[in-house]
Amino acid sequence: MHQVGYSICHQLPERSLHYGGRALPVCARDTGLFLGFTVGLVVLLVAYRHFAPRYPAWPKILVLAVLILPTFFDAATSYAGLRESTNAVRLVTGAFAGTCVAALLFPLAAHALELVRGREPAEPEAEARMLEPWWSLPALLTLPAVLSLAMWPRWPGAFWLWAPLVTLAIVFTFLALNFTLVALVFEWLKGLEVAPSPALITAVAIAAAFAELALSNRLHWLADRLLR
């Protein structure tokens, strides 16, 4: 778990959540980002499991984009020494950013999943819009709030719940991003009369995700040695 976290995070103890004296594999901000992304994407995949929706209306896209900004503001101002952030703020802003990124990626991810399943994508005008009911966006945004509240209590054994979940969330995020990218690239290649199998698309995505984590881990290790 520590090595997976080491691939993508500075792992500073003072910026990480601790349970029973143990720090989670990544800092509080990354914990929120990866768990928020994973929970958000899984919930959307379940909600839209029968089809790939179109992007929501522009006002809802704007809301999702705006809610990503607080985590950048929090990171930039705290690293610049303009203000001191807290782990609670890092966790909450990260969770909202991760959930919103998942929502913005979801139509592409769902389209990629339809391609791998071998289903012909529906015509754009025939597809329903994502988050169409008025209550759907507020309901989605309860996820990062509930997640942040659930993580805050310290209780015996909490580390062994959250640390594996955070590790799995990191791996899932890399897999989801690579799967979407690879499937869309192969869709473009299909237009060039190249027709790879779903198994090949999945295998390439998995290999790319783990290769990226491994390479990032070793680059982090090298940077640590050079800067000492």
pLDDT mean over 15-35: 96
Catalogue the E-assigned strands of the chain: 18-19, 22-23
CB contact at 8 A, 182 and 48: no
Q: What span, in angstroms and rounded, lies between the C-alpha atoms of 95 and 103? A: 12
Could you read off the pLDDT of 139-156 as tens digits, one per residue? 999 999 999 999 999 998
Tokens of 228: 């000492």
Asked whether 23 and 9 are in contact (CB, 8 A), the reply is: no
Residues 6+ away with beta carbon under 8 Å from 217: 3, 4, 6, 7
**Tokens 């005008």 found at:** 125
DSSP 8-class letter at 109: H
Q: pLDDT at position 126, please?
A: 53
Residue with tokens 């709030």: 145
What digits encode the pLDDT tens for the residues 163-208?
999 999 999 999 999 999 998 888 887 765 555 678 888 899 999 9
Q: What is the largest CA-CA distance in the chain?
A: 58
Least reliable range by pLDDT among 52-56, 65-69, 71-75: 52-56
Percent of the chain residues past pLDDT 70, beyond the cut: 93
CB 110 within 8 Å of CB 183 = no
Give 216: exposed, middle or buried? Use CB within 10 Å, 0-12, 13-18, 19+: middle
Decide if pLDDT at 121 tops 90. no
**pLDDT tens digit sequence for 5-16:** 999 999 999 999
Q: What is the pLDDT of residue 193?
A: 59
Q: Which residue has the higher pLDDT, 202 or 94?
A: 94
Residue 47 CB burial class (10 angstroms; 0-12, 13-18, ≥19):
middle
| Cβ–Cβ < 8 Å for 90, 32 | yes
DSSP state of 129: B
State whether residue 38 is helix, strand or coil: helix
User: 25 near 2, Cβ under 8 Å?
Assistant: yes
Q: Is 22 left (phi over 0), alpha (psi -120 to 50) or beta?
A: beta
145 with 39: CB under 8 angstroms?
no
Query: Using alpha carbons only, how large is the chain's radius of gyration in Å?
Result: 19
